[in-house]
Structure 1
Amino acid sequence: MSSGGSRRALLASTVGSLALAAAAGCGILPADRRFDPASEVLPPDATASPAATAAPVAARGRTLADPAASREFFGKALVPTNRMTFGLDRAEIMRSDDPRFPSFLRVSLPVDAANPEDRRIYRDGTTYGGTQLFVDHTLRSPYELYLRYYLRFPEAFDFGKGGRLPGFFGTIVKNRERTETLRSGLATRFAWREGGAGLVYANTARPDHPLNVIGKASWYWPTGRWVCVEQGVKLNFEGFADGVILIWLDGALAHKEKFNPRISNDLRIGGFLLQAAFGDGGSAFAPTEPQTIDLAGFTYGTARLNPLPRPEKT
Structure 2
Amino acid sequence: MDSLTRAVGVAFLVLCSASCDESTSGDGGAGGTGATSDGGQAAGAGSPNGGAPHTGGQTGTGGSDNSTSIGGGGGGDGGQNTGEEILHADFEAAAEGEYTEDMVAADFGAEPPWNDGLDQGRASIVDDGGERFLRVTYPANEYGPGDGGVQFKVPLNDSYEELHLSYRVRFGDNFQFVKGGKLPGLVGGSAPTGCVDDTTGFSARMMWRTAGAAVQYMYFPEKVNDCGDDYDYASGGSATQFEPGTWHTVEHHLEMNTPGEHDGILKAWFDGEPALDEQMFLYRLADATYEIDTLYFSTFFGGGDSSWAPTSDQVVDFDDFVVKTGRIGP
Shift of residue 209, structure 1, vs aligned partner: 6.7
Q: Aligned ranges for residues 121-140 of structure 1 at < 5 Å?
A: 129-138=148-157, 140=158
For residues 252 and 288 of structure 1, the distance between their equivalents in structure 2, rounded to whole angstroms, comes to 33
Q: Aligned ranges for residues 263-302 of structure 1 at < 5 Å?
A: 263=285, 264-302=287-325
What TM-score do the two structures reach when normalised by structure 1?
Answer: 0.65
2:103 aligned to 69, 87, 100, which one? 69
Query: Which residue of structure 2 lines up, in the alignment, with residue 214 of structure 1?
Result: 231
Q: Aligned ranges for residues 45-194 of structure 1 at < 5 Å?
A: 62-64=97-99, 66-74=100-108, 76=109, 79-83=110-114, 85-88=115-118, 89-95=121-127, 97=129, 103-115=132-144, 129-138=148-157, 140-171=158-189, 184-194=200-210
Change (3 A) 1:224 1:275: same
Deviations 1:55-94 (A, max 9, x none): xxxxx96333x232222333x4xx24123x2111201022
Tell me, what secondary structure is at the counterpart of 1:141?
A: strand
Tell me, what secondary structure is at the counterpart of 1:279?
A: coil
Change (3 A) 1:271 1:28: closer
Kept in 2: contact 1:104–1:294 (CA 8 A): yes
For residues 224 and 250 of structure 2, the distance between their equivalents in structure 1, rounded to whole angstroms, comes to 29
1:203 paired to 2:219: yes
1:233 paired to 2:268: no
For residues 147 and 304 of structure 1, the distance between their equivalents in structure 2, rounded to whole angstroms, comes to 9
Kept in 2: contact 1:238–1:262 (CA 8 A): yes
Give the unaligned 5+ runs of structure 2: 1-26, 39-94, 191-197
Change (3 A) 1:157 1:275: same
Kept in 1: contact 2:203–2:219 (CA 8 A): yes
Give the unaligned 5+ runs of structure 1: 1-21, 38-59, 120-127, 173-181, 308-314
Corresponding pairs, count: 233
What TM-score do the two structures reach when normalised by structure 2?
Answer: 0.63
Tell me, what secondary structure is at the counterpart of 2:104?
A: helix
Tell me, what secondary structure is at the counterpart of 1:92?
A: strand
Q: CA RMSD in A?
A: 3.1
Query: Which residue of structure 1 lines up, in the alignment, with residue 77 of structure 2?
Result: none
Between 1:204-213 and 1:244-253, the stretch displaced more is: 204-213
1:260 aligned to 250, 266, 282, which one? 282
Kept in 2: contact 1:166–1:273 (CA 8 A): yes
Change (3 A) 1:279 1:183: closer
Change (3 A) 1:160 1:130: same
